[in-house]
Amino acid sequence: MPALSRRSLLQASAAALAVSRVAEGRGLLLESLLQDVCASALEAAKRSGATYADVRIHRRRNETVSVRDDHVEGVGDDESYGVGVRVLVDGAWGFCSTSRVQVSQAQAAAKAACELARANARVLQSKVELAPEPAHVDVWQTPLEKDPFKIPIADKAELLLEVSRALLAVPGVSYATASLESRLEWKLFANSDGSLIEQSITRLGPGYEATAVDEKSSDFQTRAWDGAGRQAGYEWLEQSRFLDDARQVGEEAVQKLKSPGISALGNKHLILSPTNLWLTIHESVGHPTELDRALGYEANLAGTSFATPDKLGKLKYGSEQVTLYADKTTPGGLATVGYDDDGVRTQRWNLVERGLFVGYQTTREQAGWISEKASRGCSYAQDHKSVPFQRMPNVSLQPGPKDLGVKDLIAATDDGVYIVGNGSWSIDHQRYNFQFGGQMFFEVKKGKVTRALKDVAYQSNSLEFWSSLDLLGGPAEWKLGAAFDDGKGEPMQSNPVSHGCPPARFKANLINTRSKKEA
């Protein structure tokens, strides 16, 4: 571990924290405390034999507001704050955390982490080697005009109730729910390589759903809003169609209830809206290209991957039109940050290029596993008491060169189904065979939408599905979808992530999800 200069660390810390102190009004006493906590933890790790150490002061706040029909159903506001110290001793990791952000506690955590690492080293089969990364001193934050945590809860509740009233005003809608989640992650990261990085990430997770009920048959159908979570300030929600779309959502719930089930089954053309396709990207591309999963490290909980390292640069993942890329810099993306939790500057890179499998998601520890010289910046820990490990970046489908939209794809389709919104899904442990539903389904005949359908799902496997892509939308209708809480690891950690795509046309096996007895 390089010799640490307390003076240089404190000077860098003062520069990095200056912006946040002005923005948030933090006092000099608090700033001094945070400087001392970082410096003392790194020094204690060095004295205890660490060859590498990092310290992460992490604040996480989550506020939720939910309504049902005409009343507020729940309000929640929880927060965690503390220090996590990670070290390498004798080539093995050790980690310890504390919820008390104090010099003495940070030092104790560093010493305990070194003891754990030393014990781990006794049974380690191969030593951890970190890919090199330059030292960074920087401040990064979500661009925002209105901090959602400064908007009164009463105002948020009233917006949700207004949405609910609009849904219930539609004849045939019997129930309505709406919710808004606001999440803040503030992190101060310092490591023994000389990095000092402050980041503040603000995310919004809005949503609502209408339920239409047929009293005679007791049948019911739901329709959820197609909007997605976003890394943004409250102004994004005010400018979105969150309220404006409510009546249409209610009307489509009723329309779906009155629609026939799909009867034209089998292998057919499938036109997918970005509001549906993003989830298929998440499951059939995002998860399979996690390197730890591909090597079996997630097998016990989340499964493995068909996209194993021996196939890198060889496997035909999709058609020539398919380029899928990982990106932690997409504006508004939930996984977008300036630096990951290894202190690596984030980037964009291809996972599938013109149909060929070419890349993985990696951390500093993982890069050497596939003979790469640098990390892709995919390390993340959900809070101070969690160990950073490889998590999914934003994974997106590159739009086509021609500015085709949904209407163009429908006009070019003789027989198929157009699917909007994401619904139920299932995929095997290798992320290969799958089934996906949706929110709204429309029959397409001879280039036109003829009627709405219900009880539709499509089945395929990841390679056949992406190889069947034959029409790709352009940049104008490229759109972000999002998973606000993607789970992985033991103990389980949650990672927010977005996926962008244009509309696209595939072929897949269409099925009716309702049994013959119910149909």
Q: Which long-range contacts link 4-11 to residues 24+ away (Cβ below 8 Å)?
A: 4/39, 4/42, 4/43, 4/46, 4/192, 6/39, 6/43, 8/194, 9/35, 9/38, 9/39, 9/42, 9/190, 9/194, 9/196, 10/35, 10/39
CA-CA distance, 64 to 328, in Å (whole number)?
26
pLDDT for 17 equals 46
pLDDT for 515 equals 55
| Cβ atoms 137, 12 nearer than 8 A | yes
pLDDT for 32 equals 82
Calculated CA dihedral for residues 458, 459, 460, 461, nearest 10 degrees = 120
The CATH number of domain 6-258 is 3.40.50.12280:
no
CA-CA distance, 180 to 505, in Å (whole number)?
32
Query: What b/e readout covers 47-58, taking b as 16+ CB neighbours within 10 angstroms?
Result: ebbbbbbbbbbb
| Cβ atoms 403, 476 nearer than 8 A | yes
Pairing of strands 137-141, 92-98: unpaired
Residues 6+ away with beta carbon under 8 Å from 64 = 74, 75, 76, 77, 179, 180, 181, 182
Residues 6+ away with beta carbon under 8 Å from 334 = 203, 229, 230, 231, 394, 482, 483, 484, 496, 497, 498
pLDDT for 215 equals 86
Residues 6+ away with beta carbon under 8 Å from 314 = 356, 357
Please report, for the chain, the start and end positions of each structural domain, with discontinuous segments joined by +. Answer: 6-258, 266-512
Extract the tokens encoding 18: 């200056």
Extract the tokens encoding 490: 């033991």
Average pLDDT, the chain: 93
CA-CA distance, 317 to 323, in Å (whole number)?
10
Instruction: Chunk the chain into consecutive blocks of 10 residues (it has 519) and report each block's average pLDDT, rounded to whole numbers.
Output: 50 44 48 90 98 98 98 98 98 98 97 98 95 97 97 98 98 98 97 96 98 91 96 96 97 97 94 98 98 95 94 98 98 98 98 98 98 98 98 98 97 98 96 98 98 97 98 98 94 96 98 67
- Determine the number of helices (DSSP H) and then strands (DSSP E) in the chain: 10, 25
pLDDT for 33 equals 86
3-state helix, strand, coil in the chain (%, to 5): 25, 35, 40
Can you tell me which residue has the tokens 């993982």? 366
CA-CA distance, 66 to 157, in Å (whole number)?
7
| Cβ atoms 201, 337 nearer than 8 A | yes
Look up residue 405 and give its amino acid: G
3-state secondary structure of 198: strand
pLDDT for 12 equals 46
3-state secondary structure of 62: strand
Q: Tell me which residue of 409, 427, 426 sits closest to 418, measured CA to CA.
A: 409
| Cβ atoms 391, 286 nearer than 8 A | no
Instruction: Check residue 454 and report its DSSP letter.
Output: B
3-state secondary structure of 238: helix
Q: Tell me which residue of 168, 142, 144, 141 sits closest to 68, measured CA to CA.
A: 168
Extract the tokens encoding 469: 């892509």
Extract the tokens encoding 492: 């389980």
Taking the model in full, what pTM does it have? 0.94
Q: Tell me which residue of 203, 199, 201 sits closest to 140, measured CA to CA.
A: 199
CA-CA distance, 512 to 222, in Å (whole number)?
17
Query: What b/e readout covers 66-98, taking b as 16+ CB neighbours within 10 angstroms?
Result: bbbeeebeeeeeeeeebbbbbbbbbebbbbbbb
pLDDT for 20 equals 43
Q: Could you write out the DSSP letters of every residue in 298-312?
A: TTTTT---S--GGGT
Residues 6+ away with beta carbon under 8 Å from 387 = 84, 86, 93, 95, 381
Q: Tell me which residue of 54, 66, 97 sits closest to 160, measured CA to CA.
A: 66
CA-CA distance, 426 to 422, in Å (whole number)?
12
| Cβ atoms 141, 197 nearer than 8 A | no
pLDDT for 517 equals 42
CA-CA distance, 377 to 340, in Å (whole number)?
5
Q: Could you write out the DSSP letters of every residue in 327-366?
A: ES--TT-TT--SB-TTSPBP-EEEEEETTEE---B--TTT
Q: Tell me which residue of 223, 243, 242 sits closest to 232, measured CA to CA.
A: 242
